Structure formats: structure tokens, C-alpha cells
Amino acid sequence: MIIDTVTNAPKYTGLNPLFAKAFNYINQNDIANLPDGVLEIADGLKLIVATGNGKTVEASLAKFECHDKNIDIQVCVKGLETIAWKPREKCVAPNGDYNPEKDVRFFSDAPDMSFQLTDGQFAIFYPEDVHAPMIGEGEIKKLVFKVKI
């Protein structure tokens, strides 16, 4: 997992060729005014724009998730978002089977830690990062780039 600010994004573009395309998209668009929805940015790079009210810890942990075929770049555009996290290798309580169509696997484990993102901050979640986003109060607007691996 990586946590940083969008201003430091160039440090991470060498990690995956699609990271540069995702961060360029952020720099070339008025992300505060993007409408909610799903956009195909490039082959292997999808963007989900979502605005919604924060959830309780319990509601978010009901979908404590990780992915096998995608890396998530989650960018907080507006609001204060708490995200719970645990390394996949420490998760021992699967919550259902892997869904290959949605590329999601859920766990019932308790997180090891939580952290907050606010305007202009992002987290990168690799397949080994189990995460529960959107914890908070009030409105949260975020971008989720799905980077195919």
C-alpha cells in the first residue's frame, strides 16, 4: 500500500505504466466537477467517480475487500475518508467466494489499522492489501482507478 498526495504522484509513475496515465488524467481534468460514473481511460485503466455519504465502520467492514486482477488508486477529491486496512497474508476469515466478474474477494477479519485521506490525497492498494473505504461522516467524493495487472 502507498499513501501520499497527488502533488507527489510523479514519484510513483514508474511502478506501473498505467499509473502515469491515471495521474495525468487527474492533472488534465477538473476532478472536483467530474460527474459520477465509470469511464474507460485506456486499455486496462478504468475510472470510477463516486460521491456519497460516508459509512459507519461496521457497514464498510461488511465489504472488507481485495482484488486479484486490479490495483486500486483511490483518490479523495473532497471530504474526509477513513479507510481500514490489513495485509491479505494475515486475513484468515474469508467472507464468501472470489467473484471473478467483479474481481473482488471479501474477508470478515478485523483490520490492523485505519488511516484518513482528505482532498488531494490518495492510496494505492495492491492485491495483497485488504481495505474497507468510505468510512466517515458527510459527503465524500472520490476517484477509483482500476489498474489491470
Average pLDDT per block of 10 residues along the chain, 149 residues long: 98 97 97 98 98 96 97 98 98 97 97 98 98 97 98
Quick one: pLDDT at residue 62? 95
* Distance from C-alpha of 82 to C-alpha of 71, rounded to nearest angstrom: 19
Contact of 9 with 31, CB cutoff 8 Å: no
Quick one: pLDDT at residue 93? 97
With CA atoms as reference, report the closest residue to 144 among 82, 71, 85, 81.
Answer: 71
Quick one: pLDDT at residue 121? 98
